[in-house]
Amino acid sequence: MISNPPFSLNKELLFSVIKEQQESFHNFDLGIKREVLDKIKNFISNPQVVIITGLRRVGKSTLLAQIANTYLNNNYYYLNFEDERLINFKAEEFDLVLETFISLYGEKKIFLLDEIQNVKGWERFVRRLHDQGYKFIITGSNASLLSAELGTKLTGRSIKIELFPFSFKEFLDFKTIKIPPIEKLTTKQKGQLIKLTTEYLYSGGIPDALKYPDLEIHKTLYNDVLYRDVAARYHLENIKNLKELAFYLVSNSSTLISFNKLKDLLKLGSINTVKSYVDYLENSWLFFVINKYAFSVKEQQIAAKKVYGIDTGLVRSVGFSFSPNFGKLLENIVFLHLRKKHDEIFYYKTKHDFEVDFFLPKKNVFIQVFQYFNDKAKERELRAIIEAGKEQDRPNYLLMVTQSEKTTVNQNNLKVEVVPLYQWLLE
Q: pLDDT tens-digit profile of 14-28?
A: 999 999 999 999 999
Closest CA to 89 of 118, 115, 126, 61: 118
Write down the pLDDT at residue 375.
75
Grouping H, G, I as helix, E, B as strand and the rest as coil, residue 291 is coil
CB 94 within 8 A of CB 125: yes
DSSP 8-state secondary structure symbol assigned to residue 31: -
Least confident span in 166-175, 235-244, 315-324, 358-367: 315-324
- CA–CA separation, 423 vs 356, rounded Å? 21
Instruction: Kindly indicate the confidence band of residue 144, based on its pLDDT and cuts at 50, 70 and 90.
Output: low
Question: What is the crossing angle of helices 143-153 and 122-131, to 10°?
Answer: 50
User: Higher-confidence residue: 318 or 380?
Assistant: 318
Strand order, beta sheet including 305-309 = 255-257, 305-309, 287-290
User: Higher-confidence residue: 341 or 296?
Assistant: 341
For residue 385, how many other CB atoms are within 10 A of its CB? Answer: 27
Question: 83-87, 140-144, 246-250, 263-267: which has the highest mean pLDDT?
Answer: 246-250
User: Higher-confidence residue: 372 or 386?
Assistant: 386
Write down the pLDDT at residue 150.
60
Residue 225 has pLDDT above 90, yes or no: yes
Instruction: Kindly indicate the confidence band of residue 393, based on its pLDDT and cuts at 50, 70 and 90.
Output: confident
Burial of 369 (0-12, 13-18, 19+ CB in 10 A): buried
Write down the pLDDT at residue 408.
92
- CA–CA separation, 186 vs 179, rounded Å? 11
Mean pLDDT of 228-238: 90
Least confident span in 2-6, 88-92, 174-178, 293-297: 2-6
Mean pLDDT of 147-166: 77
Q: What is the DSSP string of 376-423?
A: HHHHHHHHHHHHHHHHTTS-SEEEEEESS--EEEEETTEEEEEEEHHH
Contacts of 415 (CB under 8 A, 6+ apart): 398, 408, 409
Contacts of 106 (CB under 8 A, 6+ apart): none
Residue 62 has pLDDT above 70, yes or no: yes
**Chain Cα centroid distance, residue 314:** 12
Mean pLDDT of 307-319: 96
Least confident span in 140-144, 176-180, 320-324: 320-324
CA distances from 223 to 157, 213, 230, 309, 316 (A): 34, 18, 10, 15, 15
CB 348 within 8 A of CB 365: no
What does the domain layout of the chain look like in residue ranges? 11-162
Write down the pLDDT at residue 4.
40
Mean pLDDT of 59-73: 96
CATH 3.40.50.300 fits 11-162, yes or no: yes
- CA–CA separation, 250 vs 243, rounded Å? 10
Percent of residues, the chain, with pLDDT higher than 90: 74
**Chain Cα centroid distance, residue 401:** 22
Mean residue pLDDT of the chain comes to 91
- CA–CA separation, 314 vs 71, rounded Å? 33
Contacts of 59 (CB under 8 A, 6+ apart): 31, 34, 163, 207
Q: What are phi and psi of 219, to 5 degrees?
A: -70, -40
Question: What is the crossing angle of helices 94-105 and 11-26, to 10°?
Answer: 60
Q: pLDDT tens-digit profile of 247-304?
A: 999 999 999 999 999 999 888 889 999 999 999 999 999 999 999 999 888 888 889 9
Percent of residues, the chain, with pLDDT higher than 70: 95
Q: pLDDT tens-digit profile of 171-205?
A: 999 999 998 888 889 999 999 999 999 999 999 99
Contacts of 21 (CB under 8 A, 6+ apart): 78, 79, 80, 83
User: Higher-confidence residue: 320 or 128?
Assistant: 128
CB 397 within 8 A of CB 416: no
Instruction: Kindly indicate the confidence band of residue 350, based on its pLDDT and cuts at 50, 70 and 90.
Output: very high
Instruction: Kindly indicate the confidence band of residue 395, based on its pLDDT and cuts at 50, 70 and 90.
Output: confident
Write down the pLDDT at residue 2.
40
Write down the pLDDT at residue 215.
95
Residue 6 has pLDDT above 60, yes or no: no
